Structure 1
Amino acid sequence: MSELPLKRKGDHWDAKTGYECAYEAIKPRQRRKRDSQSGLKIDTSLECDSLEDIYGWEEQAATPYGSAYFSPLESKLEMSPLSHTATDPTDDLLNSPSYETDIDGSPRPNQQVARRGSFARVLSPTRSLPPELAMIAPCPVASPALEFCMPAFSEFSNRPNRRALVDHFCNVLSHLIVFREESGNPFQQLVLPLSHSSSPVMNAIYALASAHLEYRGVQNTEKSLYFHNEAIQGLAKVIQNQGKVNKNELLAAVMLLVYYELVQRRPTNIIYGHLKGAFAIMCLNQDVLTPVGLFLERAFGFYDVIAALSLGTPPLSTAPSAGGLLPVPPLDAPPASPLTNVDTLLGMATTLWPIMHRLSNLLFTKKELEDAQQTNQVSKVAVLRTEFEATSQAIEAALTQWKPCLPPNISIRDDVLVVKGVEGEEIPEMARLQSILHNALAYRHSAFVYLYRTIYGYSPKHKLVQHHAHAALLHCAETTAARGPMSALLWPLFAAACEAIGAEDRELAKKAFSEIEQRQGMTNIQEAWGIIQEVWKRLDSLDDDAAMGTNSDLWRNVCAEMGVTIVFG
């Protein structure tokens, strides 16, 4: 599980509206009549602001990246069970009127949503979904225990356009951002039910689905920006509320807002602010994790590492132990599934993630060492050099020894999965498994590229850099060729493509970017490709190896000059 805009120096700035962004104090809003067929007036002052006002965390200079705490929420977080009731049938989707507000407290499902067919016809009278939006990875098994009333998704809203957004979230988006869903999609099973009692979660779902459609040229009668602002305001009100707060509802809303920033907006430090808020929430309550809590924490753990690699900042979370991460399966996954050992969000890279976490912290350690050297802090230099060299060597050794954790009865032969003991036999899930394997191997080789280029400062022409960049690009291309999950592929593809100096490797990168942009439909993929092309132009102008070596973060220089900050996903 697609996004790349502008990081301006100084105040936050919204590139779409041209307004300076600042949250105002939350004020009671008067209801106003909205024309469902016309554009909405959006309060752009609520676009981005310092998220400290919402989350309540503050920077502390005593630590490298600041410690986070969550004073407004202390003693309020709780784990509350969700209750769900049945609802009566309502009118037909196309004939149903557009109400000013949704029915408050309308019951929503607590089971998997796997309804087929798109309701995009209600989004706009003149636009329809492009064919690529129908390219989803369908869930093989639908829920046998739940029958929805008609019109479809009426449990969520009386408005046809909003029901269409829920449909898009369930039947398109949720399939694009997970690796495993043989018994159901975790976003449908775990996140969607939280919208029953949480308007921020519901509005964040609307915002994400609407933004994904807008990127593809499909306009809803209500803009994604409107839903985003509603979700942000609702989140602020929940945190400021004196009552008890459901931790998982907060985390789910924040997670969806992170995805929203990646899909449509130009993410800057807003994503980093959301992550800090999420980890502040998680640190305050150490209750035994429920399935939804475990899933959300795994998602934030992934983005924490990706953000650290993107921004050059240390991760907010502590490094998991080597055996501390186990694959998270969907609910009710069969114990003998061919997808056993495949994590819903990390695929076959679960055991690689502790290594990736330590790798993401190395650039910060390197910068600390260089600062100490420039200021002649001899004792500090000695300590940091020892730490830096020991950690980098340990990471290199761990990457060399790492192997993906395969499902039972499956082995690898020349990077191809085979059923043990039976020559030529395949299982129905083999193509999906092959794609997931190539995704994990792409991460491993791109981690080497990051280590040798960014950390060690090798030239792009160095044989180790080229070997691993070529291997990573091959695995990215194989991931897309197998037509399996392409979620989380942007970072390894980008890291390897930055060092592509030959025509073959650049063609592999071009093809892979085209495939995942068409499949995922997220802005950061398209803009990452733009950065890559500029990096290639500059690499071609640097004939001297020494000059290449001094530009170990050439892509960061390009981003800085273009005023963008890439946060991968």
Structure 2
Amino acid sequence: MAEPDEAPTSRQGYKGTTQAESSLDSFDEASLITLAPTAQNQFHAYVTPMIAHSPSLRSAISFMAACHLSVLKDDPSLLHIATQHQTDAVSSLCKTIDTESPLVSLAIIMMLQITDRLFTTNSGVNHLEGAKVIIDRAGPKTWDCDAGTFLLSVCSYHDAVVSVSRRTPPILGLGGDIPYLEAMKPMHGLKIMWATIGQISSMCSQDKALLDSQGAVIEIALRTLDTYASREGDVGHTIHAYKEAAYIYLHRVWHNVGSPHPGTLRHASDCLNHLSQVPVSSPLVSAHPWPLWTAACETIDKKLRDLVRKRVRAMYEVRHLPSLLRLEQDIEDVWNIKDQERTSTGIDKVDCVQAILSIRQRGADLA
């Protein structure tokens, strides 16, 4: 990543009029938000070619870049520029959404969604609802291409984590069977995990009579993920971590069981140990906040809590994303609440997401 004072180079068709507009080259935002563990950055491969043809997409990317630049330069004044780019992106999208390519429109909406989750607490806009309209209206054939497949993968991830932070069913409900790019084949197991997380979130609004049958189905499904979790390296550790976190989430929603239950503590420990095996420089770490949060909130071991603190701090030092600072504070707040609960009652019935909703009046930062 280039230093902030280096002169950025312009992309063809993307001649920024502000420092923020050129900062995709200076700071390479795409390297921070991709999830694919491949040499080719998928955002560069499929989103960058759209920039020259869409002022709205250019503004959406500049919105993200200006937000990040304000953090890297510790310059809050850049947030004014960011807001202007955000306004331009939304205004332009509203004017062209009926004539713009659905691929480009979805790319714009997901850039706004990602920026909202990483740099702000909550804009009050439900970007995923907009994504759903575009996906449904365009029809399945539109997405039967590499760019479409990639964008749906990004949507499925954000749909899953938002469902957790709001304890509501997924908005898009894309499931785990959406196609995947050959270069992203290792991600197939993660797509199945995201779909499973969404299924667990859907249990939050189900009638109690249905919980047992649905919970049992999901538990069996988690056991069948061993094939994907057996992968080695960063992908294998990430899928293992998701699997352990999913067990924790399932039993919290299904039975309201958490620490100090031995099963929960075991899953939390295994999850954190798998996450710690993935270098913080890995692109897959972009997908780690949810399992990290889920396991961290349930651990009561001092050494593991220290591991969590060091891990989140290391993730921030690489990415400098405000969402990670909020994640760190949210975890500390949940620990304090849950420790007090166990001290006074001997048990833990605290749902960590509900705790943050109560304290912060927002969902936990899990993206």
Q: Determine the C-alpha separation between the residues in 1 that align with 2:25 and 2:349.
A: 50
**Aligned ranges for residues 135-154 of structure 1 at < 5 Å?**
152-153=10-11
Paired-residue identity, %: 20
Conserved 8 A contact 2:4-2:73? no
Offset, 1:245? 2.8
Q: Decide which of 216, 223, 237 is 1:393's aligned counterpart.
A: 216
**Aligned ranges for residues 54-453 of structure 1 at < 5 Å?**
120-122=5-7, 152-153=10-11, 155-157=13-15, 159=17, 161-162=19-20, 164-168=22-26, 171-182=28-39, 184-217=40-73, 219=75, 223-239=81-97, 244-267=99-122, 269-270=124-125, 273-288=126-141, 289-318=144-173, 320=175, 324-330=177-183, 341-343=185-187, 348-365=189-206, 368-369=207-208, 385=209, 387-405=210-228, 417=232, 434-453=233-252
Offset, 1:166? 2.8
Structure 1 runs of 4+ aligned residues shifted over 4 Å read 116-119, 218-222, 481-484, 544-547
Offset, 1:454? 3.2
Q: Determine the C-alpha separation between the residues in 1 that align with 2:275 and 2:168.
A: 26
Conserved 8 A contact 1:173-1:209? no
Offset, 1:121? 2.9
Offset, 1:167? 0.4
Conserved 8 A contact 2:356-2:364? no
Q: Determine the C-alpha separation between the residues in 2 that align with 1:452 and 1:402.
A: 17
Offset, 1:159? 3.2
Q: Determine the C-alpha separation between the residues in 2 that align with 1:464 and 1:536.
A: 18
Q: Is residue 494 of structure 1 aligned with residue 352 of structure 2?
A: no
TM-superposition CA deviations, 1:460-507 (whole Å, max 9, x none): 100111010111111121123685631110000001111111112211
Amino acid corresponding to residue 487 of structure 1 in structure 2 = S
Q: Decide which of 338, 357, 362 is 1:564's aligned counterpart.
A: 362
Q: Is residue 512 of structure 1 aligned with residue 305 of structure 2?
A: no
Would you say how many aligned residue pairs link Structure 1 and Structure 2? 363
Conserved 8 A contact 2:175-2:195? yes
TM-superposition CA deviations, 1:140-170 (whole Å, max 9, x none): xxxxxxxxxxx5435311536256313046x
Q: Determine the C-alpha separation between the residues in 2 that align with 1:264 and 1:274.
A: 15
Higher fraction of helix: 2
**Corresponding position of 1:426:** none
Q: Determine the C-alpha separation between the residues in 2 that align with 1:245 and 1:155.
A: 18
Cα distance 1:262–1:120, how it changes in 2: closer, same or farther (>3 A)? farther
TM-score, scaled relative to structure 1: 0.59
Provide the alpha-carbon RMSD of the alignment.
Answer: 2.7
TM-score, scaled relative to structure 2: 0.89
Secondary structure at the aligned position of 1:121 is classed as coil
Amino acid corresponding to residue 235 of structure 1 in structure 2 = L
Offset, 1:263? 2.4
Amino acid corresponding to residue 280 of structure 1 in structure 2 = V
Q: Determine the C-alpha separation between the residues in 2 that align with 1:231 and 1:298.
A: 22
Structure 1 unaligned residues grouped into runs of 5+: 1-115, 124-150, 331-339, 370-384, 418-433
Which of the pair has more CA radius of gyration? 1
TM-superposition CA deviations, 1:332-385 (whole Å, max 9, x none): xxxxxxxx7323xx6x423433322322211121xx43xxxxxxxxxxxxxxx1
Cα distance 1:396–1:526, how it changes in 2: closer, same or farther (>3 A)? same
Secondary structure at the aligned position of 2:63 is classed as helix
